């Protein structure tokens, strides 16, 4: 089936199998491999992106469901001049990443979290990110990064 999704401001059209997941469309059709796949049960959140402004796990929806929608991936977050998004900068300054595999999804989920709760408590952040798993950091510095970004 023919679908078109705007990804990071650019329209991407393709003929896809109905079973194609949005994450596959992003990675394979649009060639944007910053969005990672970490599980097959929508548990880990590594594939989190923004669809029409809301954080979603791009493995939980079919590409066809996003037809006509607007997607932002991790590649679309930094400015064109190379300046990191404040959340990316906060993750770097607070050592909120180690291997970096969960990081794109975590950053996308965290930016969405701050859209919903601009001044979160530590508990808000921990609960807000519970759909995104990280195995390296123990979350301590991720939480610090999100709080630091909120307080900027």
Partner 1 sequence: MTMTHETTGVLGTRMLRKEDPALLTGEARFTADLAIPGALHLAVIRSPYARARIVSVDTSAARAHAGVRAAYSGADLADLWAGPMPCAWPVTADMKNPAHLPLAVSQANYVGDGVACVIAETAEAARDAAELVDVVYEPLEAVIDLEDAVSDRVVIHDEIGTNKSYTWDLKVEEQEGDVDAAFAAATYTVKERYIQQRLIPAAMEPRAIVAVPQPFGGDMTLYSATQIPHILKVMVALTLGIPEHQMRVIAPSVGGGFGSKLNVYAEELLCVALARKHNLPVRWTETRSEGCQATIHGRGQIQDIELAADANGRLTAVRVRLIGDMGAYLQLVTPGVPLLGAFLYAGVYELPKAYDFSCTSVFTNMTPTDAYRGAGRPEATYAIERAMDSLAATIGIDPLELRRRNFIPTDKYPYEAFTGLVYDSGNHDGAATLAAELVGYDAIRAQQKTQNVDGAKRRLGIGVSTYFEMCGLAPSRVLASLNYGAGGWEAATVRVLPTNKIQVVTGASPHGQGHETAWSMIVADKLGVAPEDVDVLHSDTAISPLGLDTYGSRSLAVGGVAIAMACDKVIDKAREIAAHQLEANPDDLEFAGGAFTVAGSPDRSMPLAAIAFEAFTAHNLPDGLEPNLEAHTTYDPPNFSWPFGTHMCVVEVDVETGEIEVLKYVAVDDCGNQVNPLIVDGQVHGGIIQGLAQALFEEAVFDSDGNLRTSTLADYLVPAASDVPSIVTGHTVTPSPTNQLGVKGVGEAGTIASTPAVINAVVDALSGLGVRNMPMPASPNTVWSVINAAQGGSQ
Q: Are strands 2-7 and 54-57 parallel, antiparallel or unpaired?
A: unpaired
**Would you tell me which residues interact with partner 1 (CB under 8 A)?**
17, 19, 27, 31-41, 43-44, 46, 73-75, 77-78, 84, 88, 91-93, 95, 97-104, 107, 122, 125-127, 129-143
Would you say how long the chain is, in residues? 152
Q: For partner 1, give the closer residue by CB, 3 or 57.
A: 57
Least gap, CB of 113 to partner 1 (angstroms)? 11
CB-wise, 51 or 102, nearer to partner 1?
Answer: 102
Query: Please, what is the minimum distance in Å from the beta carbon of residue 4 to partner 1?
Result: 22
Query: What whole-number distance in Å separates Cα of residue 114 and Cα of residue 88?
Result: 13
């Amino acid at each position: 089936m023919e679908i078109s999704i705007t990804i990071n401001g650019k329209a991407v059209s393709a003929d896809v199998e109905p079973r194609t997941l949005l994450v596959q469309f992003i990675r394979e059709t649009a060639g944007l491999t910053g969005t990672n796949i970490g599980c097959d049960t929508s548990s880990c959140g590594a594939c989190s992106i923004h669809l029409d402004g809301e954080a979603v796990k791009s493995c939980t929806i079919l590409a066809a469901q996003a037809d006509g929608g607007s997607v932002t991936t991790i590649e679309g977050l930094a400015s064109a001049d190379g300046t990191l998004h404040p959340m990316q900068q906060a993750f770097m300054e607070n050592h909120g990443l180690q291997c970096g595999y969960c990081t794109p999804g975590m950053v996308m989920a965290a930016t969405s979290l701050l859209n919903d709760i601009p001044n979160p408590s530590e508990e808000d952040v921990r609960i807000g990110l519970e759909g995104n798993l990280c195995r390296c950091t123990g979350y301590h510095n991720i939480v610090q990064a999100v709080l630091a970004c909120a307080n900027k």
